[in-house]
Amino acid sequence: MSTRPRTVDERPAEGSGTLAPELMARVQEIQIRTHKLVNTALSGGYRSTFRGTGLEFAEVRPYQPGDEVRSIDWNVTARAGEPYIKTFQEERELTLHLLVDTSSSMDFGSRGLSKREAAAQFAALIAFTAIKSQDQVGLTLFGHDAGLHLEPKKGGRHGLRVIREVLAAPSTGRGGDLSVVLDHGLRTLRRRGIVFLISDFLDQALDAPTTSQVEGGASADFWGDSLASLALRHDVIAVRVIDPLEEALPNSGRVELAGIESNARRTVDAGSRAQREAWEQAARERRTGLDRVFSRARVDALELRTDRDLANPLIDFFRRRQARYGGRVV
């Protein structure tokens, strides 16, 4: 992974004929699939969950019975000879940032969607929902050699571009040190906003390095600390993408597994109950470790499974957040 995602301001416009037909078809398919959900199940939940960060002046108008006396604009009242009040409206415009993992492990899919395709569909759901609410959407891709950062913008064309970039990014790298992209976000995402961090988190340590590890040459940086720092400035939501095979092996005899981000290979006897249980136990321990990192960083987390509906976790998240905070950027 590059130490700093490159910022891209201009590229050929969507639909300009420069996209491979297969990629264009996938982008359009995701757009169609998400359109109805955005207009029905998601947009109301999004607006209620993320209500804005303050109030801005709207207008002055004549005082009416029942209005707050504290809202009277005494300067206008003196000039007009009758009471006028100031009115305010919610500062609705928010900025949504998508940090999306495109490392090689995200291309894995044992059935149905790959994790990258699931990430692209989820990114489309939240991006188009934000765009419908007139919010800006930015994108940072990490986990491949080049990296990429798109400045926040509005509009459906920009939403399509977000999907395209997630699907088209080369899958040539390892997950790398997530602290690099989080620290980059801390430096570049200046205005407080909403950050969705979408990854399988497979290549990430679950604890800070020990003193002996650092003395042995390991990096002293821990992505959990960087996540906590980012969460102090932004409303951060971690989205873990999971393939069902990563949590449970089928009872199907001996299986050869090849590492996507390395050349390592291993054979697992999936017909052995003991090995299946060991596999599942390792998955549970990793989930517990990730939950611990997220909890310490004080970020909300949700899970996407590639074999299940991708909108329901987002809908459930909106409901939980509204119940807990009453709908505000935290």
Query: Kind of pairing, strands 136-142 and 235-242?
Result: unpaired
DSSP letter for each residue of 80-126 = HTS-EEEEEEE----EEEEEEE-SGGGG--SSSS-HHHHHHHHHHHH
102, 172 Cβ separation under 8 angstroms: no
Residue 273 has pLDDT above 80, yes or no: yes
- Whether residues 13 and 34 share a domain: the answer is yes
Whether 196 and 141 have beta carbons less than 8 Å apart is answered as no
Same domain, 23 and 163: yes
Query: Residue 13 pLDDT more than 50?
Result: no
43: Cα separation from own chain's centroid: 16
Q: What is the pLDDT of residue 201?
A: 94
At residue 234, the pLDDT reads 93
Same domain? For 219 and 165 the reply is yes
Let me know whether 153 and 83 are in one domain.
no
**Percent of the chain with pLDDT strictly greater than 70:** 80
Q: What angle, 0 to 180 degrees and rounded to 10, lies between the N-to-C axes of helices 21-37 and 115-132? A: 50
Rounded mean pLDDT, 171-196: 83
Note whether 25 and 168 are within 8 A (CB): no
How would residue 121 be classed by pLDDT, with cut points 50, 70 and 90? very high
| Closest to 1 measured CA to CA, from 179, 166, 127 | 179
- For residues 223 and 208, give the distance between their C-alpha atoms in angstroms, rounded to a whole number: 8
Ramachandran area for residue 32 (φ above 0: left; ψ -120 to 50: alpha; else beta): alpha
Same domain, residue pair 210 and 72:
no
Domain match, 145 and 159 both: yes
pLDDT band for position 15 (cuts 50, 70, 90): very low
Which of 302 and 321 is assigned the larger pLDDT? Answer: 302
**pLDDT exceeds cutoff 60 at 78:** yes
Angstrom distance (rounded) from CA 167 to CA 158: 14
Residue 129 maps to a domain? yes
Place of tokens 């095979």: 245
- Residue 19: inside a domain: yes
- Do 73 and 196 belong to one domain? no
Domain range for 67: 55-90
11: pLDDT strictly greater than 50: no
Task: Indicate whether 277 belongs to any domain.
Answer: yes
User: For residue 1, is it within any domain?
Assistant: no
pLDDT score for 206:
84
Find the mean pLDDT for residues 97-104: 93
CATH number at residue 237: 3.40.50.410
Q: Which among 177, 21, 170 is positioned nearest to 106, based on CA atoms?
A: 170
Is the same domain home to 229 and 99? yes
Indicate the pLDDT class of residue 143, thresholds 50, 70 and 90.
Answer: confident
In which residue are the tokens 């009416």 written?
Answer: 64
- 316-to-45, 291, 329 alpha-carbon distances in Å: 9, 18, 17
Q: Percentage of residues in the chain with pLDDT exceeding 90?
A: 39
| Within-domain flag for 151 | yes
Q: What is the pLDDT of residue 61?
A: 87
Count: domains in the chain = 2
Which pLDDT score is estimated for 329?
Answer: 47
For residue 92, pLDDT over 50 is answered with yes
Q: What is the pLDDT of residue 59?
A: 77
pLDDT of residue 8: 46
Q: DSSP label at 200?
A: -
Domain assignment present for residue 126? The answer is yes
User: Are 82 and 216 found together in one domain?
Assistant: no
pLDDT digits (tens, 9 = 90+) for 195-241: 999 999 987 888 877 666 655 665 657 899 999 999 999 999 999 99
If you average pLDDT over residues 93-111, what whole number do you get? 90
Interval 278-315: pLDDT, tens: 989 999 999 999 999 999 999 999 999 999 999 999 99
Name the domain boundary from 69, 90, 111. 90
Same domain? For 86 and 111 the reply is no
Residues 310 and 175 in one domain: yes
Residue 2 placed within a domain = no
In a domain, residue 330? The reply is: no
Q: Are 102 and 175 in contact (CB under 8 A)?
A: no
* Distance separating alpha carbons of residues 270 and 140, to the nearest angstrom: 38
In a shared domain, residues 196 and 214: yes
Q: What is the pTM of this model?
A: 0.78
Domain end, chosen from 72, 90, 108, is at: 90
